């Protein structure tokens, strides 16, 4: 059995012509995109990339809209059937004519053989398990670890005026969307009033609680918005109606779950007290669309705020991974999450933050964002139209033009778990087969399974 020698600057992602394909982790600072239809192996590739980051002691912030990336917490170095058994689907076992125990034994053997047949051994599973602190957060749910988002908004430090305005705007649009109020119009009285209240306090170095925000919507701590007095710009009866809508959030029995748990402080979430990297998995499959948008926008804003307080570096310092980007960074429309995501893609490289986005289709992403992504991993695509869109996007990547007919042929012949790799830092196109994941790829975990893991 051939095994790979560990190299902290290289990510082992798969095989190219039956030999290990090693990806320089510093190339991830130019960001990456994983594209592929359902069943292409997209999630497996994403998990192997995050495993490599953990082994290299590189922390990650992971946004998981479907719940698949919680599988990073399923590492079983001894590959015992009893390790797998709690995660076996009883119906799936019955469909195969096996008991749960028998299916667990079969799965354990499959994973052992898969790992040992791909230049790895079980010692590497142990290395992964010990290299990072894997945490699953479930906002507004007690299933996993809690994360406090609505107890108060802390005054940011070290932001210039533009960054502060963007940070404030992200909070304002998030709160409005969570309250069921359209946040597309950035010149609306609702948006401008909330933004000015936040800016007023942040400029004084003061935080703002949700309770304070509601009270000051009704009675602002300033007299004018622009050149108009407050009552002319936004009459008191309409301000009260806005305050009542946001107050309904507090009155909701589920509100306190938004306030419980660890504060969303990126600087403190990257490493544990022993200096081990943390893989922070934010599972948001249980949230509705407005709640997901609220959470993602606040998280991206916090990433930018953290980024501004760090020094520049050319090394990979941390990874921001978002699975299934659909709806959060569209080419048309301007959801609250779009501005902070574009800011990160444009500026995060200088601070050593690598952004990795995953999607089934490049049409899900804003074209300005695509131009800032240096590595494309392209898996199987469903239609000729999808392939044409990818080829169109790839044509602008790198200094050397790529023959579109060559691209079409390569993409059309991809098998499951095979990806075409275009890296702006290299002149060649590669086709790789993803390696066997060290984590057990069970699929989305139940609330009970997440709860047991986090205990």
User: Residue 389: its pLDDT value, please?
Assistant: 79
Q: 91 exposed, middle or buried (CB, 10 Å; 0-12, 13-18, 19+)? A: exposed
- Rounded CA separation 390/363 (Å): 9
Cα dihedral 270/271/272/276 (nearest 10)? 140
Q: In angstroms, how far is the first alpha carbon of the chain from the final one?
A: 36
**Is the pTM here over 0.85, yes or no?**
yes
User: Residue 398: its pLDDT value, please?
Assistant: 55
13 Cβ contact list (under 8 Å, min separation 6): 21, 22, 23, 45, 48, 49, 52, 432, 434, 435
User: Residue 247: its pLDDT value, please?
Assistant: 87
- Rounded CA separation 218/441 (Å): 50
User: Residue 29: its pLDDT value, please?
Assistant: 95
User: Residue 184: its pLDDT value, please?
Assistant: 67
Strands 60-64 and 147-148: unpaired
- Exposure letters 226-258 (e unless 16+ CB within 10 A, then b): eeeebeebbeeeebeebbebbbebeeeeeeebb
User: Residue 132: its pLDDT value, please?
Assistant: 94
Reduced to 3 states (helix: H, G, I; strand: E, B; else coil), residue 355 is strand
Rounded to 10 deg, the angle between the 210-218 and 189-202 helix axes is 120
User: Residue 383: its pLDDT value, please?
Assistant: 80
Strands 353-359 and 318-322: parallel
User: Residue 8: its pLDDT value, please?
Assistant: 78
Q: How does pLDDT run across 106-135, given as a tens digit for each residue?
A: 999 999 999 999 999 999 999 999 999 999
Name the token pair of 397.
Answer: 């990547």
Q: 196 exposed, middle or buried (CB, 10 Å; 0-12, 13-18, 19+)? A: buried
Successive 10-residue mean pLDDT values, the chain, 455 residues: 76 94 95 92 96 97 95 96 94 92 95 94 95 95 90 85 88 86 78 94 92 92 91 94 87 81 92 94 93 92 90 92 90 86 93 94 78 91 81 66 77 90 89 96 94 91
- Rounded CA separation 159/379 (Å): 39
Reduced to 3 states (helix: H, G, I; strand: E, B; else coil), residue 3 is coil
Name the token pair of 13.
Answer: 């992602």
Kindly list the distances between the CA atom of residue 50 and the CA atoms of 151, 189, 267, in Å, as whole numbers in the listed order. Answer: 31, 42, 19
Place of tokens 């980024």: 307
């Amino acid at each position: 059995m051939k095994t790979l020698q560990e190299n902290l600057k290289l990510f082992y992602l798969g095989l190219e012509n039956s030999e290990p394909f090693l990806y320089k982790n510093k190339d991830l600072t130019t960001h990456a995109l994983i594209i592929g239809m359902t069943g292409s192996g997209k999630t497996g590739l994403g998990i192997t990339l995050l495993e490599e980051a953990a082994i290299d002691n590189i922390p990650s912030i992971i946004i998981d809209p479907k719940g698949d990336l919680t599988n990073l917490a399923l590492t079983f170095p001894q590959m015992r059937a009893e390790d797998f058994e709690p995660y076996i689907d009883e119906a799936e076992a019955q469909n195969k004519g096996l008991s749960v125990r028998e299916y667990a034994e079969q799965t354990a053997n499959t994973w052992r053989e898969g790992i040992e047949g791909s230049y790895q051994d079980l010692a590497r599973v142990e290395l992964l398990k010990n290299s990072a602190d894997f945490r699953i957060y479930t906002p507004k749910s007690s299933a996993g670890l809690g994360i406090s988002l609505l107890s108060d908004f802390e005054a940011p430090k070290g932001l210039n005026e533009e960054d502060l305005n963007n940070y404030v705007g992200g909070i304002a649009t998030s709160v409005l969307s969570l309250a069921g109020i359209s946040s597309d119009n950035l010149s609306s009285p609702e948006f401008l009033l909330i933004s000015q209240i936040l800016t007023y306090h942040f400029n004084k170095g003061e935080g703002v609680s949700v309770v304070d925000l509601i009270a000051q919507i009704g009675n602002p701590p300033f007299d004018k918005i622009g050149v108009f007095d407050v009552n002319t710009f936004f009459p008191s009866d309409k301000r009260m109606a806005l305050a009542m809508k946001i107050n309904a959030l507090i009155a909701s029995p589920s509100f306190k779950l938004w306030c419980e748990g660890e504060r969303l402080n990126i600087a403190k979430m990257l490493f544990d007290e022993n200096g081990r990297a943390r893989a922070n998995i934010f599972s948001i499959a249980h949230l509705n669309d407005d709640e997901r948008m609220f959470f993602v926008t606040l998280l991206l804003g916090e990433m930018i705020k953290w980024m501004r307080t760090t020094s520049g570096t050319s090394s990979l310092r941390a990874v921001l991974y978002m699975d299934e980007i659909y709806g959060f960074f569209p080419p048309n429309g301007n959801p609250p999450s779009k501005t902070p995501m574009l800011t990160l893609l444009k500026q995060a490289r200088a601070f050593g933050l690598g952004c990795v986005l995953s999607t089934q289709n490049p049409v899900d992403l804003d074209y300005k964002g695509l131009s800032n992504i240096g590595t494309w991993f392209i898996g199987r695509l469903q239609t000729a139209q999808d392939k044409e869109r990818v080829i169109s996007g790839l044509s602008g990547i790198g200094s050397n033009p790529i023959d579109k007919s060559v691209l079409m042929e390569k993409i059309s012949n991809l098998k499951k778990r095979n990806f075409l790799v275009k890296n702006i830092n290299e002149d060649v196109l590669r086709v790789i087969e993803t390696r066997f994941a060290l984590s057990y790829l069970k699929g989305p975990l139940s609330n009970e399974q997440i709860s047991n893991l986090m205990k």
